[in-house]
Amino acid sequence: MLAHNQQHTRSSGDESVEHAATTSEEAAPTLGQEAQLVRERSQQTRSGPQLSRRRMLQAALGVAAAAGAGALFDTSASIARASSIFSVRARMRPAQAWGNWESLGGKIASPPDAVSWGPDRIDVFATGPTRTLYHQAWDGSAWSSWSSLGGRLSSPPNAVSWGQDRLDIFVKGADNGLWHMAWDGSAWSSWEPLGGVLTAPPNAVSWGPDRIDVFAKGTDGALWHRWWDGSAWNGWESLGGVLTSTPNAVSWGQDRLDIFAKGKDNALWHKWWDGSAWNGWESLGGVLTSPPDAVSWGQDRLDIFVKGIDNALWHKWWDGSAWGGFESLGGKLTSPPNAVSWGQDRLDIFVKGKDNALWHKWWDGSAWGGFESLGGKLTSPPNSVSWGPDRLDIFVKGTDNAQWHKWWG
Tell me what pLDDT residue 253 has.
Answer: 87
pTM as predicted: 0.79
pLDDT tens string 288-325: 999 999 999 888 899 999 999 999 999 999 999 999 99
Q: Exposure pattern of 177-205 as b/e (b: 16+ CB <10 Å)?
A: bbbbbbbeeeebeebeebebebbbbbbbb
Q: Considering only CA atoms, which of 78, 222, 220, 216 is closest in space to residue 151?
A: 78
- Indicate the average pLDDT of the chain: 82
| Measured distance CA(218)–CA(197) in Å, rounded | 6
Assigned CATH topology for domain 31-408 = Neuraminidase (2.120.10)
Most confident of the following: 3-17, 81-95, 179-193:
179-193
Q: Where are the domains of the chain?
A: 31-408
pLDDT tens string 89-100: 333 444 579 999
Q: What is the mean pLDDT of residues 10-38?
A: 38
Whether 37 shows a pLDDT value over 80: the answer reads no
CB atoms within 10 A of CB 95: 6
Give the chain's radius of gyration (CA, Å).
20
Amino acid at 142: A
